[in-house]
Structure 1
């Protein structure tokens, strides 16, 4: 017996038109139904909907720093097809594909913000974490081999010795460890997924400002606990209650200091 054909999913162009309210009622109803039936499509729409972030300003500032003479020379060696319209729709389609394939959003947004405020690394991390939803992390592999490989990259850049066993927390799943960098300044981001409170992250960068006891603060409606040792500054950020977050920060601090 032949399986029924699956309905064709909307293209990214159609999804952006949906978000821009450029479709008629019948087309909107069709996409609404598809989003309800397909969690992956719903996540795709969430990524595309984030066009309100200051992407244009980020690219404008990066463009101002670009080696234009060398880039133009490289472009002169390429074929010259008819230029397509570089609309908001084109940008979102291209950017969404890159973001879903890796950590481009973290690197672009964090790099742009760091260029604006290099002295406040916790604010930059909070800006990045404000973009996270549970679906950002749910699909990521969580096997120990992958985690160890990711942690080795952090160790090499920040002079640490991290292993999954030292980072495990009750109830909360370790999802990813990655390096975010701007102008050669690395910040490690170790992300967790809490089934009750959503994404949470342990972040660390080099610091020579001396040791600091635990301090609490709020950023982007998230709780933050931060501290420092003689070589590194640390922070734990998430939507967890402050007392619970500080308790976890103390557990991590004790393990990572031994």
Structure 2
């Protein structure tokens, strides 16, 4: 199958490309580095011509409306103009409709763009990747203290496993319209203290003292009340946070990796 992967040079998209190659398919990375600009639509006609499926993994924390939302809309519109039956598989976030955070709202808008377009599409929501959970825990530590939002817990998921499941959907049967697949989540939910303790042990540092930040804003309340945790019927898989952390360098780099 010829499968176009938006954000195919990024962290998640690159893993999707490699997994598709390992399965014997023909993945085509689509990003500005390959001449495709989702914000303007440049290059989309050429790259989508003859595609059997599209994995929309492109995302931007700073420009989500231009990349996540407009990208999904332009992909759908281009497929319709080409009269292509290609199946669009789009990554989203568990709880994005419950937390009024701009990036999460953009994910909801991206889902609606595909639904409104009427193309064959599968939306796959996943919890936060292990690297993001680690980044927030590291960013929240200041000296001997670590700041936590209320009673917030996270159930991070292995990015490699998510990439595999996206490939499963892209190479499987296409739906007749837009559908939402079963949510994806990692095996274990962690409190802020548990993540902070695991990171401290990994880095060989002292365990920090947790300082609870009251969730006084709507976004913080959503996080604290468990909006980003998966429902009981979510699909569970991939490495645990501990297993992922054991494969990382010491000390863990204190930087954020965008999924795309």
TM-score band w.r.t. shorter chain = under 0.3
Which is greater in Rg? 1
TM-score w.r.t. length of structure 1 = 0.25
* Higher RCO (Cα < 8 Å, 6 or more apart): 2
TM-score w.r.t. length of structure 2 = 0.25
**Structure with a larger share of its residues in helix:** 1
